Structure 1
Amino acid sequence: ELRLVQFLEGLILLRCGKLDLAVEMLRGIPARSDGGGASLDERVQALLCHAEVLRGDLHAAERHLANAQRHNTSSAATLTVHAYLRMAQDNAASAEGLLKQALHVDSTCPEALLRMGQLLLCEGQVDTAIEYLQKCLRQPLDSPTFGAGERCCANIYLCVAFHKRSAASDQTAGSAVPSESVGRSWTPSLLTLLKLGRCSSSSVASCAVVQDRLARVHFLQAMELHPHL
């Protein structure tokens, strides 16, 4: 279908940072007058809302959000972009509520998991943010709106989160280091730290050295996804 091709082209332009061209392409996609294709119409309007937030035109973003909601008010995609707009408007409470609704609809929605992790990190809820961001990165690469750029962001947020953990003075002993956060190359370094006695097995997650290493792992993963970061 031509409309789908245009949607994907608009998405690619958005990913390349060509916001004006992306908006022009997406606005040119005709809506289905017969009521069919409502799902695509919703995604077009949701993506336009996202693009306008990036362009800083929050009034236009509100209009496109309203258009998306006319097709579906309770899809994970529309709820997530609604939350993204509220985050841009510095309304964290509303954004968090919307993201909870989105994750109730689809608990594995990578966009919602990413935004929840971002929001909680900004709110200082570092441990919970890490959980959402790690779950986000575990999702399969089967969403056209969640690609290398978004995975790069998740890794950067995790890098920041682990640095915050490292700097915190009130870490509790006995927290487990999530194995999915590290690659195979990390295991020898972790074992070396334990053997050297720099951190005990019961307090490994609160060890600043370990947290710094985890932060570095996620930074390097982000660089692999986006070398020109």
Structure 2
Amino acid sequence: MPAENLTLEHLFAGQPADKFAAGEGVFWEGDPASDIVQIVEGCMRLCRILPDGRRAIVGFKFAGETLGLSCEETHCYTAEAVTPVRLRRLSRARLRAMGEEARPLQSLFLAKVFEEIRDARQHIIVLGQLGAEERTAHFLVSAAYRTGADRRRPVTIELPMTRQDIADYLGLTIETVCRILSKLKRDGLLALDGRHRITLLRMADLQHLAGEFDDAEPQTASWTPAKWPH
């Protein structure tokens, strides 16, 4: 294949797939970052343990997304499977050995690193500037953006993570997240169907609550919602 036609999918296609059960660690904070990882299916949470023992979730990753591009010598977070996960690995040493063949991919790698930086910056703004209800609305609206659905109609999203995961991601308590979701339901902004399916009924109101507007460009979220088996 001509070098200029290489994609990340081509690089990972020949790699064996590793499987992880829900709750299993894929790698740990401080481990050597020797591989780049591409998720084939499933959802992973990225977390760090604070000095006082609390857990902070810094992002979620889904099928088709990559991990490890922005790391240096060691991983700066722990990656755990939220659902059963399949993934493929590509060693950094092999990528370096490919030399000129992989050169056309460098701009793609760089774009993905910049995307991770942009996502981290956006998350800092959400945690530092928005209130609890605004953070929760932003989380839900970001999920709807990433589905590519018509945001002027009700949008159903499936969130495989737990309420505790959402709370740790938003810097809130689980009680606060549950209370806000119940309030948004009472206000007619959303409908809850079980633990993982949420229908956003009034997108415009949720967008305004999250600090977004109908004609605004979607803010990049650090995770992608998908449908999971019940």
1 or 2, which has the higher helix percentage? 1
TM-score after normalising by structure 1: 0.30
Which one has more relative contact order, counting CA pairs under 8 Å at least 6 apart?
2
| Larger relative strand fraction | 2
TM-score by structure 2 length? 0.30
Q: Which has more radius of gyration? A: 1
